[in-house]
Every structure is written in structure tokens, then in C-alpha cells.
Amino acid sequence: AAAGIVALAEEDDAREPVPQVTRDDEAAIEGVWRLVKAERGGTPQVLEQGLQVVFAAGWTGLKQGDAVGNVGRYELDATRAPKHLNLPRGNSVVKGVYELDEDRLVFALPAGPRRERPGKVATQLGDGITVMTLERTESTREQLDQLAVELERTAQAQESSRDGQNE
């Protein structure tokens, strides 16, 4: 019987480790990230020059020069394998998966908001999954705080604009 328990323990050790339930990823993802590589359906994509993704104080948005867009709240779940990431896209949420390593962030997103969350941070020919690789840029705490305020204001302006269109 003891040999069976040892075999089960060894089998458990061979499985992929489950991410720890911590706020580490919440803190680590904060920053300004530069898009360095993108693939959709296994095909390399042309990158927009200067495109950055900002994560600050629970807000995210795309930044290109002085323009900020696609702003909203994001959610992380580092307790899942692979780790889960929910990003705003217009009035909906896109459910993706991510890997975060110090100054490198890679995430996989389905092509549209109604598609299922990818099962891994990868793409292959014709699967409709977009994988983006980002590298952290230098930013100070003060800059991140300012960006968080800018993202929140932009989100409020977008919300007001949508409310005005719906009336």
C-alpha cells in the first residue's frame, strides 16, 4: 500500500505546478508594456509602431503616442493553469490566458468576445488565437499613477459617450 502512495506522490510531482494564490501578478503586471511580437492564427502580424499596453491601478488601455483607447478594468486569476486574464474590448470582455516573467508578458486572446478562452499561451495555423509578446518599458511610480488617472478619465468619457448614444 505504501508503494502505491509513493507512486501517486511521484505522479503528482510530475504535473504542472499550480500557481500560488498571491497578489504578486497584480503588482508585477503594473507598468507600460511595448508590443514586440504578435501572431494571429499562427501567422506573424505587422506591428503598429509605438503601440503600448498600460496596466495601472486595475485599469488597462492601449496607448499610441498621446492617444489612449480601449480602456477598462482588467482581471487576473493566477490560481488557474494557464493563468487567466480578462481584458476590456468595447462593451464586452475578452477572456485570455497569460504568462508573466519579470519584464516579459505574453498573452493569448480569442479573435472575438464570444470565443472561448484559449487553453494555452500559443497559436497555430487557422485557430483564430492572437498571441502578443510585450516587454516592459521604464516607468516610474509617479508616471504609473498619472496613467491610472488618465485611464480612469478616458473610461469615464467613453462611458458618458456610450450613455449619450443610447438615449
What are the distances in angstroms from CA 30 to CA 45, 115, 121, 125, 140? 25, 27, 20, 32, 11
Residue-level pLDDT, tens digit, the chain, 167 residues: 434 333 333 333 444 444 443 568 988 999 999 999 999 999 999 888 889 999 988 888 888 888 888 888 999 999 999 999 999 887 788 999 999 998 999 999 997 555 889 999 999 998 889 999 999 998 878 887 888 888 888 888 877 766 666 55
Q: What pTM was estimated for this model as a whole?
A: 0.76
